[in-house]
Amino acid sequence: MKSKPVTRGAPRLALLGGPTTFVAALHVGRPNIGDRARFAQRIEVMLDRRWLTNNGAYVRELESRLAGVLGVQHCIAVCNGTTALQIMAKACGLGGEVIMPSFTFVATAHALEWQGVTPVFCDIDPATHNIDPTKVEELITSETSAILGVHVWGRSCDVEALERVAVRHGLSLCFDAAHAFACSSAGRMIGGGGVAEAFSFHATKFFNTLEGGAITTNNDEVAARCRRMRDFGFTGVDRVESLGINGKMNEASAAMGLTNLEALQTFIDANERNHRLYRFGLEGIPGLTLAQYPQGERCNFQYVVMEVDETACGLSRDELQAVLRAENVLARRYFFPGCHRMPPYRDRVLRAPLPETERLAGRTLALPTGTAVSAQDIAAVCRVIRLALSDAPAVKAAVAATGAGDAAVAP
């Protein structure tokens, strides 16, 4: 059900005693859902087959179709994005230390740490929000085995620069592509970069399989290892040849994936429209900058991310988040406070300072988008933001008096 903005009299912020703008919460990313009848039909077929998991027909079909969309030789579907990262790391032989950005969802670091691999945090390029290749070489030691790039917001890392660093130092190169399904880099679909890339198809991603993920690669040996590892190391009936876990995607998830794949362009069109409407609605506001997507590349427009410069606009990111939360707009801070400031990493000494990561983690705010968000919703959110900034001193006082800033940061 889409949230409906309330319109009652003269505009007044809920934080300052006015009515709440939205009756139902407006989330950053409610699940996109394709043709429900088609999904239900697939579920009926699945139940008739009585084949619910273990590399069923839907999983195999989804892998084949995803490989075609991404232009890769191999796609290995798994149960979630974190498992995709873990299996990819193991199959690619990552060990010792791996250089990665701190500006990412903590699962990227956890997937390494869980397996005894040490994440070494690298600063980001302020223009792209992705790992800065010029900073990577400063962090390489004899213990470094790989570089793990993250395509943040679906905007590609500088793949070619990272490849040059990896080749120069004999390192593996992998990517966390959780944000980047259906996006391209230098005209090529993201998915075939480095040795392998890991995707998330979680319910909040613009393309979801209920819950799921995948590893993509053009390396036959890596693909074979990934397939063994997701199924306990089995290579045949009663034949185990390597270490493995249960990382298989089930048939219901694959059925959802196939259904949503058929609606992929509809989802992308909705995201692009939303991004355009936010850009129009927030245009000209000093201190607010929307993350833009590169011209000439394919893009999913999955995230509407705003940088908030308190000096220029009068409110901090957290104060603006408090305003929006009071209106039932559940805007999110991404990726605060950075992996390096979260347990178990925050007590470790950084190998190099992360000034751009720190700056960006204190300024970013993700706004609601997706097919569950209407043009009317976006117009209402933009009105709230403009109204808040027009009365910044009163908002600051209210946040300080009520502690709304503390409440606003709850997940």
* CATH classification of the domain holding 284: 3.90.1150.10
Dig out the tokens for 61 from the structure.
């079909």
Does residue 15 form part of some domain? no
Cα separation of 262 and 329, whole Å? 30
Domain count, the chain: 2
Domain boundary among 240, 262, 284: 262
Q: How many residues does the chain have?
A: 411
Q: Are residues 345 and 255 in the same domain?
A: no
The pLDDT of residue 148 is 98
The pLDDT of residue 144 is 98
| pLDDT, tens digit (0-9, with 9 covering 90-100), for 187-219 | 999 999 999 999 999 999 999 999 999 999 999
Domain boundary among 232, 262, 292: 262
Domain boundary among 201, 234, 262: 262
242 touches 229 (CB < 8 A): yes
The pLDDT of residue 286 is 97
298 touches 184 (CB < 8 A): yes
Q: Are residues 254 and 269 in the same domain?
A: no
Which stretches of the chain score pLDDT less than 70? 1-10, 404-411
Does residue 246 form part of some domain? yes
Q: Are residues 232 and 371 in the same domain?
A: no
Q: Which of 256, 149, 262 is nearest to 208 (CA)?
A: 256
pTM recorded for the entire structure: 0.94
Domain range enclosing 126:
36-262
The pLDDT of residue 121 is 98
Does residue 3 form part of some domain? no
Does residue 367 form part of some domain? yes
* 3-class DSSP string for the chain: CCCCECCCCCCCCHHHCCCCCECCCEECECCCCCCHHHHHHHHHHHHHHCCCCCCCHHHHHHHHHHHHHHCCCEEEEECCHHHHHHHHHHHCCCCCEEEEECCCCHHHHHHHHCCCCEEEEECECCCCCCECHHHHHHHCCCCEEEEEEECHHHCCCCHHHHHHHHHHHCCEEEEECCCCCCCEECCEECCCCCCEEEEECCCCCCCCCCCCEEEEECCHHHHHHHHHHCECCEEECCEECCCCCECECCHHHHHHHHHHHHCHHHHHHHHHHHHHHHHHHCCCCCCEEECCCCCCCCCCCCCEEEEECHHHHCCCHHHHHHHHHHCCEECECCCCCCHHHCCCCCCCCCCCCCHHHHHHHCCEEEECECCCCCHHHHHHHHHHHHHHHHCHHHHHHHHHHHCHHHHHCCC
| pLDDT, tens digit (0-9, with 9 covering 90-100), for 52-91 | 999 999 999 999 999 999 999 999 999 999 999 999 999 9
The pLDDT of residue 411 is 34
Does residue 88 form part of some domain? yes
* Backbone Cα Rg of the chain: 22
Q: Are residues 274 and 214 in the same domain?
A: no
Q: Are residues 321 and 243 in the same domain?
A: no
Q: Are residues 239 and 275 in the same domain?
A: no
Q: Are residues 121 and 236 in the same domain?
A: yes
The pLDDT of residue 9 is 46
Q: Are residues 286 and 203 in the same domain?
A: no
- CATH value at residue 47: 3.40.640.10
